[in-house]
A = this chain, B = another copy of it.
Amino acid sequence: MSVLIVGSTALDSIKTPKAENPRLLGGSASHAAVAASFFSPVKMIGVVGEDFPKKYLQLYRRHKIDLAGLQILPGKTFHWSGEYEANMNNRRTLLTELGVFETFTPTLPKPYQATPFVLLANIAPSLQHHVLDQMARPKFVVADTMDLWLNIALTDLLKLIKRLDGFVLNDSEAQQLTKEDNVFAALKKIHTLGPKYVIIKQGSHGSILSGPRGFFLCPAYPLPKVVDPTGAGDSFVGGMMGYLASARGSIDDNLRRAMIHGSVVASFCCEGFGLNRTAKLKRTQIEQRVRELETLTKF
């Protein structure tokens, strides 16, 4: 089955203590769509400006991503610039130029509307709502978010959460949303907001699922060197949704392995700037790390 993915499509200029990389392909939808593409057909919704490099369109196409929902508008592509500290965990935004993103209205091409799996990757909750409004009874809807929307669009976000099957956020966002320092207490509180499945991402510590079958402690793949963590969370949720859409059986039967596959794609994402490493990835390399994670967690 296929996955519809909406989110940001951006150019990222990323600075780390070791290197500086201007105008890489970035954005939550780009990372999530490429990650999902290793498992299932992907339909992308997004917007870019006329300055968007052709090579990045080609990159999407190489991953067989359906671009019927990608608007190319007069103006500039959304541009984000950020700098990481030495520990690669803390980053600060240097610059945000919204460009054509400022007036983006995601409109679904007709063939998108019946897509069974929907990933509302990180973007304004109002736009996530707008996409859902155009869908015809999807099978499984998951949204990701970020602290910005907790700060400036909390009402919209809370309404969105009620409409979801699964909600994904990171540990500091979960703390901000629930005022709970304990991640398991936070998971419990988030269920009361609506979703059957809640996943809290913990960066290099992996992620935790809470669902009808209880908790699942999903490990992160061990990386002795992180080149650039930008997009790892989007890759995780994209890979997870792509795997889910590809798997037979129930969501409950498949979600754990889906998270593991997402976690593995995220690990590759961290090994290059932007999408540099992910874009070269082969399915066999993903499966190799999935097997390694089995060994790494067996006792």
Contact = CB atoms under 8 A, between A and B. Distances in A.
- Per assembly, the copies of the chain total 2
**Could you say which interface size class chain A belongs to?**
35 or more
Nearest to A221: B217
Interface in A247-286: 256-257, 259-260
Given A202-B205, A205-B202, A205-B205, A216 B299 contact: yes
A94 interface: no
Given A205-B202, A205-B205, A298-B256, A181 B217 contact: no
A298 B216 CA distance: 8
A204 interface: yes
A257 B299 CA distance: 6
A141 B100 CA distance: 63
A82 interface: no
Contact of A181 (B88, B205, B218): B88
Nearest to A185: B224
A184 B223 contact: yes
Nearest to A255: B299
A116 interface: no
A215 interface: yes
A252 B65 CA distance: 46
Given A183-B204, A222-B184, A226-B182, A214 B296 contact: yes
A89 B183 CA distance: 13
Given A214-B295, A217-B297, A224 B182 contact: yes
Interface in A179-205: 181-185, 188, 202, 204-205
Nearest to A175: B87
Interface of A: 86-89, 181-185, 188, 202, 204-205, 208, 214-219, 222-226, 256-257, 259-260, 294-299
7 contacts: A184-B222, A184-B224, A185-B224, A202-B205, A214-B295, A214-B296, A256-B299
Given A216-B296, A216-B297, A216-B299, 19 more contacts: A87-B181, A88-B181, A89-B181, A182-B223, A182-B224, A182-B225, A182-B226, A185-B224, A185-B225, A208-B222, A214-B295, A214-B296, A215-B222, A217-B219, A218-B299, A257-B299, A259-B299, A294-B299, A297-B297
